[in-house]
Structure 1
């Protein structure tokens, strides 16, 4: 099962207790997963579809609890598409479908005429708890999240620009959250790639187990990346040390061949001998071997004098 499916299954087990949250979650799911069928007399039948049985059971139960009606649950095959089954909840005019559309902010009135809105009804999301519930409903209907082992990406695919912009505004109203909107074919996608934002959204929606799983992967990847950076840095430092050591050894050999080595001070001879005996040692390590011990800057100054003497010898040849 994908990380996205596991997240939706966990969200389907969240039971909102407050009536305002129940309504907001139903409205969010209905907004992206519902469709309308006209029946006789200008009435509407609501059809809500999902391919997840846990989500279908969840909303059948939630609709019954809030609206006191029993939505009809049907299972339809999708063999031609090879995508398993489609679970459909149907709410007929006899079950007050029009009232439900009005209360969820989908059927509105303008200049005395009914119209179907394509955005988020502000009255439903005035409180933060309602925003979280609405987001949860929309995610179960049209959201997806990538496996954090592969990438960080969470998105909501919306049918209209208005809905995408309203969702962006709602999510961005939470402190330290930010999403973007992009058009993808005939849809507008609200998405985020920041791992901290995704973790926060999972927690806000109530997917706490998935949030912990996400954080576990995030921490492991962070530790791995940090370890890799340290190893790369160590390797680079080792390479620089070896390159510098080879240059110093060439200088010392040149001084010995020219006879200049014997004319150097005892301190410079000591350092030159230590370098020959310890070609892989750093300047700090060489300093610890001198008698008395010498700091890195002191070793560096003496080594510069050795290199300078060698350059002078080479220039006189």
Structure 2
């Protein structure tokens, strides 16, 4: 089941009294595919939305429309509820709908039902991406004017929304995770809000873990490269003058490095017959590096 359908299911369970049914159906009708005094057509790929539309229509208008389903070429199902004639006229009278223009009439929605109205809009034309992949919620509005009004409504509740036209459709979209959380809570899906918040926490922890792992990997790579350079210097010194001709302290760190390419400077310092600090080990390797460089330049390789 998709995250969008999880939201739809939670919304359906919250539409449980007369005022909420009235407001929710208003949102579904106003943002339906076809709306006129002669013909109302509600369509959705979601059987959840279609079934709720039929249930609310029966409760509010006292008529039960039938649901038709057909399968598209891409394999998705489309659920359609249609009413015509006197039933469509009754809807227009009930909701005082304008004849030639879709307008959100806030006067017929109680203040505490505004969220349920917006839930109806979501059921009619909304979708939200799986938060594990992307933070994106949108409404594909049937008219430009409705899109602008919906954007204003969302701004009024503190949600950052934008509009655009995509393939001829007027889209109101929300990108920020916090704005999506506020919207889901506003339309009656608090459990889905918690799911989104938990996913955001999980992704944040995973990203931090990845950054730490990448940092560790980079540090390991840096240590190995440094060790390889040290081994190259030591082998050059061994071929040219022999490790036996080094001082005891340099010979010991040189031999430890040859035997332990993955050992850190601190670990080498702790392993010496007379343990020293990491900086002390680094100082000895700098001496060996200087000797090796002098050999490469044809200079005197003896310790100074």
In the TM superposition, what is the alpha-carbon distance from 1:214 to its structure 2 partner?
A: 4.1
1:300 aligns with 2:299: no
Distance 1:284 1:163, change over 3 A: farther
In the TM superposition, what is the alpha-carbon distance from 1:168 to its structure 2 partner?
A: 2.3
| Distance across 1 between alignment mates of 2:229 and 2:43 | 70
1:142 aligns with 2:125: yes
In the TM superposition, what is the alpha-carbon distance from 1:262 to its structure 2 partner?
A: 5.2
Contact 1:154 1:191 in 2 (8 A): yes
Q: Which of 63, 76, 83 is 2:68 aligned to?
A: 76
Distance 1:93 1:256, change over 3 A: closer
> Residues 264-293 of structure 1: CA distance to partner in whole angstroms, max 9, x if unpaired?
554333322321222111223223323554
TM-score (norm 2): 0.78
Q: Which of 185, 191, 201 is 1:203 aligned to?
A: 185
> Residues 33-73 of structure 1: CA distance to partner in whole angstroms, max 9, x if unpaired?
16444xxxxxx3562523445434434554566x5x41331
Distance 1:164 1:70, change over 3 A: same
| Distance across 2 between alignment mates of 1:136 and 1:163 | 15
In the TM superposition, what is the alpha-carbon distance from 1:157 to its structure 2 partner?
A: 0.5
| Distance across 1 between alignment mates of 2:18 and 2:91 | 22
Partner of 1:269: 251
Partner of 2:2: 2
> How many residues end up aligned between the 2 structures?
296
| Distance across 2 between alignment mates of 1:291 and 1:223 | 43
| Distance across 2 between alignment mates of 1:80 and 1:260 | 81
| Distance across 1 between alignment mates of 2:219 and 2:225 | 10
Partner of 2:268: 286
In the TM superposition, what is the alpha-carbon distance from 1:243 to its structure 2 partner?
A: 1.2
> Residues 113-149 of structure 1: CA distance to partner in whole angstroms, max 9, x if unpaired?
xx5444434546795x444223211110001123345
> Residues 218-244 of structure 1: CA distance to partner in whole angstroms, max 9, x if unpaired?
455444444443333332222221111
Say which is worse superposed, 291-300 or 231-240, in terms of deviation.
291-300
| Distance across 2 between alignment mates of 1:185 and 1:18 | 37
Segments of 5+ residues of structure 2 without an aligned counterpart are 300-304
In the TM superposition, what is the alpha-carbon distance from 1:161 to its structure 2 partner?
A: 2.6
- Structural mapping, 1:1-317, within 5 Å: 1-15=1-15, 17=17, 19=19, 21-33=20-32, 35-37=34-36, 44-45=37-38, 47-51=40-44, 52-62=46-56, 69-78=61-70, 83=77, 85-88=79-82, 92=86, 96-102=90-96, 106-107=97-98, 116-123=100-107, 127=111, 129-175=112-158, 177-215=159-197, 217-259=199-241, 261=243, 264-290=246-272, 292-316=274-298
| Distance across 2 between alignment mates of 1:218 and 1:207 | 17
TM-score (norm 1): 0.75
In the TM superposition, what is the alpha-carbon distance from 1:245 to its structure 2 partner?
A: 0.4
| Distance across 1 between alignment mates of 2:207 and 2:108 | 43
Contact 2:41 2:82 in 1 (8 A): yes
| Distance across 1 between alignment mates of 2:250 and 2:240 | 16
Distance 1:94 1:279, change over 3 A: closer
> Residues 91-128 of structure 1: CA distance to partner in whole angstroms, max 9, x if unpaired?
836974333232xxx42xxxxxxx5444434546795x
